[in-house]
Amino acid sequence: MEPVKFDPEVALRMLLADEIFQTRVPEGRYRELNREMLDRLPVLLGDLMDQPVSLRTVLTAQLRILRDDYDPGRYLEFIRAAPRRPETASLDLNAPAILETLKYVVEMTIRAAEETLADIPGLLKEQGKSEEEALMQSHGSGLNAVGLTALRAGTLTIAEMYMTQPRIFADFRTDSP
């Protein structure tokens, strides 16, 4: 199988056409913010694109995306633009307690991701999984059969994974506060 060449425009079109993006990310500012996040992915992952896929490179990519997504100002803008559930419609998203809680949640999420990346062997042992099994269950539904074959052959790169399964790296914001 010939390696897939990374093309950010093709990848963006694939992500924007994704069924989850089309059906669960509402039109308006919320969708615009999601698109801006997708536009940043090639830059965030740039130096990883030629790296072979491993749990470490995938988690490194996802941590970069997480840090970018959870930039405090950007995250708050996502929250404010999100459609509101009836039970949270009256929440004041500018209240200091809400802002501190959001900041804490973001910091803890990033810290947990960093700890995972720092001890991948420990994580695998704790979960009783091989690296391949962990990659199969990776965020965004894991590796497909083509990706798994290339992984086993040692030829799968982050760029190829991005072009064939971009949702592994694109966590569409479909949640509402």
The model's confidence at residue 122, banded by pLDDT at 50, 70 and 90, is very high
Q: For 81-84, which contacts have Cβ atoms below 8 Å and span 24 or more sequence positions?
A: 81/28, 81/29, 81/30, 81/33, 82/30, 82/173, 82/175, 82/176, 82/177, 83/26, 83/30, 83/176, 84/176, 84/177
- Given a cut of 70, whether residue 174 has pLDDT beyond it is no
State which amino acid sits at residue 14. Answer: M
- Quote the distance between the C-alpha of residue 101 and its chain's center: 22
Burial class (CB in 10 A: 0-12, 13-18, 19+), 19: exposed
Q: Are 38 and 16 in contact (CB under 8 A)?
A: yes
According to the model, what pLDDT value does residue 166 have? 79
What confidence score (pLDDT) does residue 134 get?
85
Q: 120 falls in which pLDDT band (50, 70, 90)?
A: very high
State the chain's mean pLDDT as an integer.
83
Residue 173: the pLDDT is: 53
Q: How far apart are CA 3 and CA 35, in angstroms?
A: 27
- Distance, in Å, from the CA atom of 148 to the CA atom of 150, rounded to the nearest integer, reads 5
Task: Compute the average pLDDT of residues 129-140.
Answer: 77
Q: Residue 34: pLDDT band by 50, 70, 90 thresholds? A: confident
The predicted-structure confidence for 44-77, as pLDDT tens digits, reads as follows 999 999 999 998 998 899 889 888 887 777 888 8
Buried residues in 56-83 as b, exposed as e (16+ CB within 10 A): ebbbbbbebbbeebbeeeebbebbebbe
- For residues 60 and 72, what is the distance between their CA atoms, to the nearest angstrom? 20
Query: Would you place residue 126 in the very low, low, confident or very high pLDDT band (cuts 50, 70, 90)?
Result: very high
The pLDDT tens digits of the residues spanning 77-109 come to 888 888 877 877 787 877 888 888 888 888 898
Residue 46 is classified by DSSP as G
**pLDDT score at 42:** 87
**Chain-centre distance of CA 15, in angstroms?**
12
pLDDT > 90? residue 128: yes
Q: What is the pLDDT of residue 3?
A: 60
Q: Among residues 35, 109, 16, 30, which one has the least CA distance to residue 77?
A: 30
Q: What secondary structure does DSSP assign to 120-134, as a single string?
A: HHHHHHHHT--HHHH
142-159 confidence digits (pLDDT tens): 677 888 888 899 999 999
